Amino acid sequence: MKNNNASFDKVRSVFFFSLLILLGLGVIYLIRPFLYPIFWAAIVAILFTPAYIFFTRHLKNKNISAILTVILVIAILFLPLTGLGLAVFNESIDLYYSASNTDWGAQVEGLAKRLDNTRLEPLIIKIQNDWPQYATTIARGVSAFLFNSLKSFTQNSLRFFLLFFLMLYSLFYFLRDGQEIIKRLIRLSPLGDKYEKMLSEKFTSTARATIKGNLFVGVIQGVLGGLVFWITGINGALIWAIIMIFLSLIPAVGSFLIWLPAGVIMLATGHTWEGATILIVGTLLISTIDNLLRPLLVGKDIQLHPLVILFTTLGGLMMFGISGFVIGPVLASLFFAVMSIYEHHYQHQLDHN
């Protein structure tokens, strides 16, 4: 009789957990279109939890504190980003017309004269002969990119604002009920409170360190690069600044892919002080910011090997788009945290294996 009961209990457990997994996968599938706003709501909630705690301490009301924190997020992050997006779009149009009206043939011809009787002369002659075809291809590519970007924005604006609203809506509840949600998950998880808190802290610290270390340093490098481009008279300085910010998010790549060729080209085309300024500022200031600020901002929050950070960031960007620069390192950090739990829990068996 006991064996029958034990067998029935086993069958019931298997059935229950199979049903739980199937229903969980079904729920994930249902909310799959909204995973990005939920994820970013969680990340923003982590960053702005100190502000929420400050409001709660003084106002003694969680709802009002959460609403004020959401308003603060909109004021600090999204209003400036909206203005920046409009400015980038306008400047991209100006850059297109400026590029279309520039006599690139004269620019290449002037460079060819400076490189007469050098090893680069045959290459410059080939570029000079083929330049009309290059210019046509570039103009078509830029115009198509601008048209498709405008078309995509107008077609997807409703979807964007819907996802934006859902992100803010989720942010409100993550701020107000975040601690209760975490406690509930810890209670339901079978790992044990110590390991569950370790995973929760690892997710929080890695996300915060990635935002502070990568995004903040990238913004500083991009702003400095954009300023030096603007001072030296390079068209589209704001656009180049945005590109440098995105490149700075990728470990072992960085903004030098933009400012270094720009400085060399300025020197080659006879703009001596402009090219020298770009190269000096890029070498002595922009390139050293990463080494100076990243250790201070990140500290010991993210304990991953640089090679792991590189590949998980690149993989995250390829799979998840811009959100991947956070998702990749967070997944890697959680994986190594689970490996640490495994090593700690089975330490005796591993030592005697």
pLDDT at residue 208, rounded to an integer: 78
Of the ranges 9-18, 167-176, 249-258, the best mean pLDDT one: 167-176
Tell me if 285 sits within 8 A of 297, measured CB to CB.
Answer: no
Output the CA–CA distances (angstroms, integers) from residue 321 to 205, 276, 316, 327, in the order listed.
22, 35, 7, 10
Higher pLDDT among residues 21 and 97, named by residue: 21
Confidence grade of residue 10 (pLDDT, cut at 50, 70, 90):
confident
Q: Of the given ranges (32-46, 129-143, 276-290), which has the lowest mean pLDDT? A: 129-143
pLDDT at residue 225, rounded to an integer: 86
Tell me if 214 sits within 8 A of 276, measured CB to CB.
Answer: no
Confidence grade of residue 287 (pLDDT, cut at 50, 70, 90):
confident
- The whole-chain average pLDDT of the chain stands at 75
pLDDT tens readout for residues 87-140: 666 666 665 555 555 554 555 555 555 555 555 555 555 555 555 555 556 555
pLDDT tens readout for residues 53-99: 999 998 888 899 999 999 998 888 777 777 666 666 666 666 555 55
Q: Of the given ranges (67-71, 152-156, 157-161), which has the lowest mean pLDDT? A: 152-156
All structural domains of the chain with their residue ranges: 35-188, 189-353
Residue range 280-298: average pLDDT? 75
254: DSSP letter = -
